[in-house]
């Protein structure tokens, strides 16, 4: 048993209030912009903002001390010592106090006058079938937005993937930048209800679950036969809220195919979702793309590919 270390309340407060972005950069971690948050390159399911973190694959989070304990597998005393700088004289930046932000009401981004850029990006760059894009556009589930920068000097065009509730009211929107160079923006609109992300409901018993809308459209392009008979949902992440809401509202859905990314974060999320589904009595299988995701498969080959299917109890 290690020696007991006493920390004052002030020390624990300072440790828990360390800005995790600054801390992780100094640890040599690579971070990826994700809206107003940062996502760990080594584990894309984890996002950080200020002194807060959230693991979307495990659906849990907290503050700096718990993050260091979990991510670096340290004891509470060692985590506090590391955050306070240990014996190295490092002083990590404290997180700025969050202003009490009112929850912004959800509002769809303003639509552009046409969808020329959406079609160019999804059909020419992402290789998604034009008829598939047109179907979702006609259903008012996909459109092009044009938004000004904060200073009004620039305009940004995005593909907007809309999620409707059971009454047909838009409650969710996921934006994807329509740019082929650099890292394009992707993220959910403020005020979204995560239970109603981009989805389509068919008449069969099968539901296909994806991380991103583009992978959903890519899978349909790869597997076009009778696709409208089935149901599809893009989690816009790896949380289970929208999948479980679809199952709650549509009791005819009995078979769930998990089609998440073929990487470590996707594998972890698939295992978690599989356990959640089987405990609830659903038949579940895993459909795995050959590349990192279904759009990679589509771009790498224009021929229909079935992927690898692993049956699960």
Contacts of 29 (CB under 8 A, 6+ apart): 40, 41, 42
Q: What pLDDT score was predicted for residue 312?
A: 44
Question: Does some domain include residue 232?
Answer: yes
Over 80: is that where the pLDDT of 58 sits?
Answer: no
Whole-number Å distance between alpha carbons of 118 and 132: 12
Interstrand relation of 155-164 and 283-288 (parallel, antiparallel or unpaired): unpaired
Q: pLDDT-based confidence at 87, cuts 50/70/90?
A: very low
Whether 130 and 64 map to the same domain: the answer is: no
Whether 38 and 185 map to the same domain: the answer is: no
What's the rounded mean pLDDT across residues 17-33?
A: 84
Whether 150 and 274 map to the same domain: the answer is: yes
**Closest Cα to residue 165, out of 249, 236, 255?**
249
Q: In what order do the strands lie in the sheet with 37-40?
A: 31-34, 37-40, 46-49, 52-55, 60-63
Lowest-confidence pick of 109-118, 161-170, 282-291, 301-310: 301-310
Q: What pLDDT score was predicted for residue 247?
A: 96
- Rounded to a whole number, what is the largest CA-CA distance in the chain? 68
End-to-end Cα distance, the chain = 42
Whether 144 and 271 map to the same domain: the answer is: yes
Whether 68 and 210 map to the same domain: the answer is: no
Higher pLDDT, 4 or 219: 219
Whether 133 and 40 map to the same domain: the answer is: no
Over 50: is that where the pLDDT of 63 sits?
Answer: yes
Lowest-confidence pick of 60-74, 149-163, 175-189, 219-233: 175-189
Q: pLDDT-based confidence at 102, cuts 50/70/90?
A: low
Over 90: is that where the pLDDT of 115 sits?
Answer: yes
Percent of the chain with pLDDT over 90: 48
Mean pLDDT of the chain: 85
Over 70: is that where the pLDDT of 146 sits?
Answer: yes
Cα angle: 277, vertex 271, 136; to 5 degrees: 70
Q: pLDDT-based confidence at 191, cuts 50/70/90?
A: confident
Contacts of 299 (CB under 8 A, 6+ apart): 126, 127
Q: Give the chain's length.
A: 313
The total domain count for the chain is: 2
Helix (H, G, I), strand (E, B) or coil at 83: helix
Higher pLDDT, 179 or 306: 179
Q: What pLDDT score was predicted for residue 274?
A: 93
Q: pLDDT-based confidence at 93, cuts 50/70/90?
A: low
Over 80: is that where the pLDDT of 98 sits?
Answer: no
Whether 184 and 236 map to the same domain: the answer is: yes
Asked whether the beta carbons of 198 and 213 are under 8 A apart, the reply is yes
Lowest-confidence pick of 74-88, 182-196, 204-218: 74-88
Lowest-confidence pick of 145-154, 159-168, 229-238, 266-275: 145-154
pTM recorded for the entire structure: 0.71
Whether 289 and 142 map to the same domain: the answer is: yes
Over 60: is that where the pLDDT of 2 sits?
Answer: no
Question: Does some domain include residue 107?
Answer: no
Question: Does some domain include residue 96?
Answer: no
Over 60: is that where the pLDDT of 182 sits?
Answer: no
Question: Does some domain include residue 93?
Answer: no
Over 50: is that where the pLDDT of 21 sits?
Answer: yes
Over 50: is that where the pLDDT of 241 sits?
Answer: yes
Whether 229 and 287 map to the same domain: the answer is: yes
Q: State the residue range of the domain holding 193.
A: 116-311
What's the rounded mean pLDDT across residues 112-125?
A: 95
Question: Does some domain include residue 277?
Answer: yes
* DSSP 8-state symbol, 196: G
Helix (H, G, I), strand (E, B) or coil at 94: strand
Whether 135 and 14 map to the same domain: the answer is: no
């Amino acid at each position: 048993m290690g020696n007991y270390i006493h920390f004052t309340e002030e020390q624990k407060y300072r440790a828990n209030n360390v800005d995790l972005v600054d801390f992780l950069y100094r640890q040599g971690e690579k971070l990826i912009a994700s809206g107003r948050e940062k996502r760990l390159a080594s584990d894309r399911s984890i996002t950080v903002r200020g002194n807060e973190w959230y693991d979307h694959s495990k659906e849990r989070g907290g503050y700096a001390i718990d993050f260091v304990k979990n991510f670096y597998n340290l004891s509470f005393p060692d985590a506090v010592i590391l955050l306070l700088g240990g014996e190295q004289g490092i002083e990590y930046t404290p997180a700025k106090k969050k202003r009490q932000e009112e929850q912004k009401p959800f509002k769809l981004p303003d639509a552009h006058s046409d969808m020329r850029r959406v079609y160019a990006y999804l059909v020419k760059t992402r290789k998604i079938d034009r008829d598939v894009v047109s179907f979702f556009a006609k259903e008012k589930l996909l459109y092009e937005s044009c938004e000004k920068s904060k200073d009004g000097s620039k305009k940004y065009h995005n593909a907007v993937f809309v999620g409707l509730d059971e009454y047909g009211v838009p409650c969710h929107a996921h934006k994807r930048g329509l740019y082929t160079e650099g890292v394009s923006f992707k993220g959910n609109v403020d005020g979204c209800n995560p239970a109603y992300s981009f989805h389509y409901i068919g008449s069969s018993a099968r539901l296909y679950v994806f991380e991103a809308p583009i992978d959903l459209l890519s899978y349909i392009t790869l597997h076009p036969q009778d696709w409208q008979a089935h149901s599809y949902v893009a989690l816009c992440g790896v949380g289970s809220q929208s999948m479980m809401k679809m199952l709650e509202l549509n009791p005819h859905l009995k078979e769930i195919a998990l089609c998440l990314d073929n990487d470590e974060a996707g594998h972890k999320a698939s295992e978690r979702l599989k356990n959640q589904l089987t405990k609830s009595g659903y038949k579940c299988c895993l459909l795995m793309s050959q590349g990192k995701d279904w759009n990679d498969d589509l771009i790498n080959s224009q021929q229909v590919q079935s992927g690898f299917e692993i049956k699960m109890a």
